Chain A
Amino acid sequence: MRLNLENFTKCFDGTPVIEGLNLTVEDGEMLALLGPSGCGKSTTLLSVCGIYRADGGRILFGGRDVSALPSQRRNVGVVFQNYALYPHLTVEENIAFPLTVQKPRPSAAEIARQVREIAELIHIDALLGRRPAQLSGGQQQRVALARALVRKPDVLLLDEPLANLDAKLRLEMRSEIRRIQLETGITAILVTHDQVEAMSMCDRVAIMDKGEILQIDSPTQMYRSPANRFVAGFLGNPPITFLEGRTGPEGRFSMEAGLTLPLPSHLRGMPSGRPIALGLRPEHFGHGGQGQATGRVTFVEPQGREMLFDVQAAPGVTLRSIQPTRDDVSIGDEVTWKVDADRMLAFDAEGRRL
């Protein structure tokens, strides 16, 4: 079911945390709300499910305004960060709970059938008799997911669902959650501060900062073409390197520290003397291109398949390069590597993309 937030506003104690936010999640789409801690992701989520009342604007489920409805009548499934399983109930009773409070209450046989069906989908049919305390983190996560999905909600909300799992389980649950979302075809919002999660699990990503959505795009598009400096800096690991400087004559860019590079070709016509910032991703340094930079290798980080190099190209200016593992470069070496100038991202003094 399609979900709309129109001019959504939420205040705490009179100060707005989110002001005039607009967001559309298409039917069957999984959208990530990605942003640093404290930017208002959870607040948005809890307002969609009705635990917080919006202070302004409308929330629409499939075109129907639900802003005034209490949680119980919104039909939203939520998976909380700490799973919030009911510790005194078995897994089966946990999953059945949403059905047992329905009016009219389905028959016991019907409840058992639906619980079994969802348990099979989520691969927890062997755990039904256990209590939450006897489950691993990943299993608890699955139970929480089953409980949220059992009454076939219009929208599924996941608040940092993987934050409490260890690295291996996180990888596994990442694809599991996506599989279940695709199989049920449910509209879902995933809240996370982890870019890898957002990019790998979702159809589209909405980047939030300070209560505002800065950009909504597909993961690839967002990575290639960020709308502003915040988005460019937030996505990418290892992160992008920003170089502050001015446009020079003949389509060049120069920094006070002495480094000069060609501008990306679409900016070569810019008048000189303008303050701009260039963003250089590590995969665009040391792999070909029209520009080049020379410097001393100050740091090498082997990562197995790849290696990360820090190169001091000018006093106080460190460029970062990621390359397939090689043995011929070590700390202290002087290197001259190509810079792919056309793939660099340029931003004006206000952080807008040029």
Chain B
Amino acid sequence: MSVGEKYVSKNKQPLVVEHPYSILYKHSFGEVSPFFVGLTKKRLLGTVCRNREKHRNGKDLLFLPPRADCPECMAEVNEWVDLTDADIRIYTFTTAYFAGETFLSKVPFTLINIDVQGFDNSYSKLTSTLVIDEPGEINIKREDIRIGMRIKPKFRDVPQDKVDASVLYFVPAEKP
């Protein structure tokens, strides 16, 4: 008999009861609040640090998700750029057929990391969703989704006090 077998528990009748639990958080987006306000105005905003000589790769850094402070030169980052009409591509993607509890009813859905052209993409591969069957937009099949495909941002209508990152989503900007 192995040690493992010797240690098997003898208890066959544990008592199990139910414990509910719910919490409401008042969450602040702090200094990147303009990003979320921007979403409600149908604008995609990022921040840029132009202290390129102090950056590891010698380039300006685009932050998307935005940052109010640069992790490389530690400067405060005050410059916001509007990327709503930028050339944006798919950096990588996955189609989810399962999810955490909140999103289980939404499957299948496609998650993407984006790639904003014209900037170094080290800090700007924002995670979002790609909607492939949006009325009035280019519709594609899930199997046609490709790395490098052109996409464009879209925005759901929500009041400012209910905004979160899911207000933003993307749709194809080119046919496969």
Tell me whether A and B are bound partners.
no
A residues near B (Cβ < 8 Å) are none
B residues near A (Cβ < 8 Å) are none
